[in-house]
Chain A
Amino acid sequence: MECAEELATLSICSCASRLKLLRSLVRDAASLAGLGDDDVDAVVLSVNEACTNIMQHAYRMDPGGRIEVTLLDDGDALVVRLRDYAEPVDPAAVYVRDLEELRPGGLGLHLISSLMDEYGFLDPPAGGGNLFQMKKYTARDRGRS
């Protein structure tokens, strides 16, 4: 991890109008990290979902909130970290729901769990808020080229 190369960092307000900009950056960064097209799509959707969760649940749609997204290439994986400054989330309260139960909400984490190789909250950062990390392995894609 100490050799991780930072690909990009984006700081956005908690405003849904910024999601398209975020997806564009993530798409380019994931390609730069060597991911194939399907994996790029998977990362783009997962980051969108994680950010949407922060906007809806952590900041409760308050556009004054701030979200910092960092994309790293650690040599084996594309690492995405999303940092917010909202009230700390209890990781135990965040779980993938049963899809047999048909309801509109709660799909985001299911999509992340289906699409990413690793995901979860890291230790709360100094200064409060939350730090959520996801990984998509890249070594497999590099081996093909």
Chain B
Amino acid sequence: MTFAVQDSNGFAVVQLCGEIDLRNSPEARKLILTSLKKQKHVMVDLSAVEYIDSSGVASLVEGFQYARANDLEFGLLGVSEAAMNVLRLARLDQVFPIYDSLDDRLSHGG
């Protein structure tokens, strides 16, 4: 499993895909934190995530906390139903900024 990062309109978009579990969540965490150290605005695209467990969610929480502590922006894009179900159970759907897409985020300004 290899995740990708794309730069677009001043945003780094980390694209996670497939099944995120303890096997690959360290890679996701590293990619998210590395992106936050390079770019002020980081979005994680979860539209192609088929499964995510607590270790994957923990990677997102770490990114969110790092961004908040360093005055950076962190959000989620196109959260798949599978991922949203887990975020709801963890009561994080109201914590993370969530957008349909990068265009949706850009339309919010800021």
Give A residues with C-beta under 8 Å from B: 16-17, 19-20, 23, 41, 45, 48-49, 52, 55-56, 99, 102-105, 107-108, 110-111, 114-115
- Give the secondary structure class of B's interface: helix
* Residues of chain B contacted by A111 (CB below 8 angstroms): 54, 86, 89-90
Expressed in whole angstroms, the Cα–Cα distance for A49 and B62 within the complex equals 19
* Residues of chain B contacted by A56 (CB below 8 angstroms): 22
Question: What distance in Å separates the Cβ of A111 from its nearest Cβ neighbour in chain B?
Answer: 6
Q: How many residues of B contact A (CB 8 A)?
A: 21
- B89–A20 contact, CB under 8 A? no
- The number of inter-chain residue pairs (CB within 8 angstroms) is 55
* Residues of chain B contacted by A108 (CB below 8 angstroms): 53-54
Expressed in whole angstroms, the Cα–Cα distance for A119 and B60 within the complex equals 27
Given contacts A16-B22, A19-B21, contact A41 B89 (CB under 8 A): no
* B82-103 with Cβ < 8 A to chain A: 85-86, 89-91, 95
Find B54's partner among A16, A41, A49, A55 (CB 8 Å cutoff).
A49
- A49–B53 contact, CB under 8 A? yes
